[in-house]
Amino acid sequence: MATPSLDYGTLFAKNLPAAAQPWGGFPRYNFVGGHNNPDEIPIEELIASSTRVLRREGRSLATYNMESGPLGYTGLRDFLVEKMAHYRGIRASSDEVLITPGSNPGIDLVNEVFLEPGDTVIMELFTYQGSVGRVRKRQVNIVGIPLDDGGMRMDALANALADLRQRGVTPKYIYTIPTVQNPTGTIMSTERRLEMLRLSQEYGVPIFEDECYADLIWEGEWPQAIRALDTSNHVIHIGSFSKSLSPAMRLGYILAPWSVMSRLVACKNDSGTGALGQLIVADFFQNHYEAHMDRLKASLRQKAETLMAALRTHFGAAIEFRVPRGGIFLWVKFPEGVDTMKVVGPALKEGIAFNPGSEWATDPAAARNYLRLCFALPTDALITEGVAKLARVFHQEVGIPA
Interface positions, 307-366, toward a copy of itself (CB under 8 A): none
| 97-116: contacts with a copy of itself (CB under 8 A) | 101-102, 104-105, 108, 112-116
- Residue 125 touches a copy of itself, criterion: CB under 8 A: no
| Residue 394 beta carbon to a copy of itself: minimum distance, rounded to whole angstroms | 26
Q: Which listed range, 19-27, 153-161, 186-194, 208-216, lies at the site for a copy of itself (CB under 8 A)?
A: 19-27
CA distances 170 to 120, 205, 305, 381, Å, are 7, 7, 43, 50
- CB nearer a copy of itself, residue 51 or residue 159: 51
- CB nearer a copy of itself, residue 140 or residue 160: 140
- Residue 2 touches a copy of itself, criterion: CB under 8 A: yes
- Residue 257 touches a copy of itself, criterion: CB under 8 A: yes
Kindly tell me which residue out of 153, 263, 342, 395 binds a copy of itself, with binding defined by CB under 8 A.
263
Residue window 160-189: x/- pattern of binding to a copy of itself, with contact defined by CB under 8 A: ----------x-xx----------------
Residue window 222-241: x/- pattern of binding to a copy of itself, with contact defined by CB under 8 A: --------xxxxx-------
Residue window 76-95: x/- pattern of binding to a copy of itself, with contact defined by CB under 8 A: -------------------x
- Residue 297 touches a copy of itself, criterion: CB under 8 A: no
Kindly tell me which residue out of 152, 174, 225, 251 binds a copy of itself, with binding defined by CB under 8 A.
251
Q: How many residues at the interface with a copy of itself, by CB under 8 A?
A: 103
- Residue 21 touches a copy of itself, criterion: CB under 8 A: yes
> Position 206: which residue type?
P
Q: Which residues pair with 397 in a beta bridge?
A: none
- CB nearer a copy of itself, residue 39 or residue 155: 39
- Residue 381 touches a copy of itself, criterion: CB under 8 A: no
- Residue 204 touches a copy of itself, criterion: CB under 8 A: yes
Question: Could you tell me which residues come within 8 angstroms of residue 42 by beta carbon, excluding any fewer than 6 positions away?
Answer: 284, 288, 292
| Residue 219 beta carbon to a copy of itself: minimum distance, rounded to whole angstroms | 23
Beta carbons of 225 and 214 less than 8 angstroms apart: yes
- CB nearer a copy of itself, residue 201 or residue 339: 201
| Residue 263 beta carbon to a copy of itself: minimum distance, rounded to whole angstroms | 6
| 44-73: contacts with a copy of itself (CB under 8 A) | 46-47, 50-51, 54-55, 58-67, 69-71
| Residue 123 beta carbon to a copy of itself: minimum distance, rounded to whole angstroms | 17
Kindly tell me which residue out of 144, 151, 239, 277 binds a copy of itself, with binding defined by CB under 8 A.
277
Kindly tell me which residue out of 39, 148, 155, 191 binds a copy of itself, with binding defined by CB under 8 A.
39
- CB nearer a copy of itself, residue 103 or residue 186: 103
Three-class DSSP labels, the chain: CCCCCCCHHHCCCCCCCCCCCCCCCCCCEECCCCCCCHHHCCHHHHHHHHHHHHHHHHHHHHCHHHHCCCCCCHHHHHHHHHHHHHHHCCCCCHHHEEEECCHHHHHHHHHHHHCCCCCEEEEECECCHHHHHHHHHCCCEEEEECEECCEECHHHHHHHHHHHHHCCCCCCCEEECCECCCCCCCECCHHHHHHHHHHHHHHCCCEEEECCCHHHECCCCCCCCHHHHCCCCCEEEEEECCCCCCCCCCCEEEECCHHHHHHHHHHCCCCCCCHHHHHHHHHHHHHHHHHHHHHHHHHHHHHHHHHHHHHHHHHHHHCEECCCCECCEEEEECCCCCCCHHHHHHHHHCCEECEEHHHHECCHHHHCCEEEEECCCCCHHHHHHHHHHHHHHHHHHHCCCC
CA angle 21, 27, 30 (to 5 degrees): 120
